[in-house]
Amino acid sequence: MKKCSWCGHDYPDEVSVCAVDQQPLVSGAPPPPMQHSYSDEGKIDTPVTLRGFLSLFVRYVAAIAVSYFVSFAVFFGGMLFLKWVGMNVIVLLFIASGFCGVFAGTLCLPRSGRHFGSAVLLVLGLAYYIYFLTTTNILRAENNIFPFVWLIPLGGGGVIALILIRRPPPNKSLHAPAAAPDS
């Protein structure tokens, strides 16, 4: 049997990471569990260390940066492709840009924060697009075809990524017996 190095939960020997808090498992007796305080709702208030906070902060900043870089790379790379294909499929480009940005950025986040993080990245991406439109001359162009309408496919791609991130993983029991090898 292995125990979680953080919470002390027992796992079979085949498992290497705690399903609850993503901490490594150790063989034998773990160090004594940390003292936890309980909030009014009965949830455990885990102590926050400076190292843990900085690590989480860096991951969220990286998620935002990756999301923007991937969205721009997909959009401008797609614009080069549309030069040969034609502008009729530009809606697909906006969907792909929103999807890839949110999905790639979400993968930078810890597994426990991906649901909330994907929604935040979607809102930040749409807010940046609106900011970009209002601060450039695109809105003042003579042949302007209402650029805010592109929020729909851009947000739609992000929502598709959000749905895929929120999809629960296949149900695997942690205590399932190991499969016998074929003879």
Q: For 72-93, what is each residue's pLDDT tens digit? A: 898 888 888 777 777 677 788 8
Cα angle 109, 76, 69; round to 5: 20
Which range (49-63, 76-90, 131-145, 158-172) has the least confidence? Answer: 131-145
Handedness of CA 19, 20, 21, 27 (dihedral sign): negative
Side-chain-side CA neighbours of residue 67 (13 Å): 31
Q: Which residues of 34-69 are buried (b: 16+ CB within 10 A; e: fewer)?
A: eeeeeeeeeeeeeeeeeeeeeeeeeebeebbebbbe
- pLDDT tens digit sequence for 109-120: 888 788 888 899
Predicted pLDDT of residue 38: 46
What are the domain boundaries of the chain? 1-31, 50-166
Among the ranges given (33-37, 38-42, 150-154, 170-174), the one the predictor scored with the smallest mean pLDDT: 38-42
Give the global pTM.
Answer: 0.60
Token code pair at residue 84: 């040969």
**Does residue 1 contact residue 12 with C-beta atoms inside 8 Å?**
yes
For range 43-67, the mean pLDDT: 81
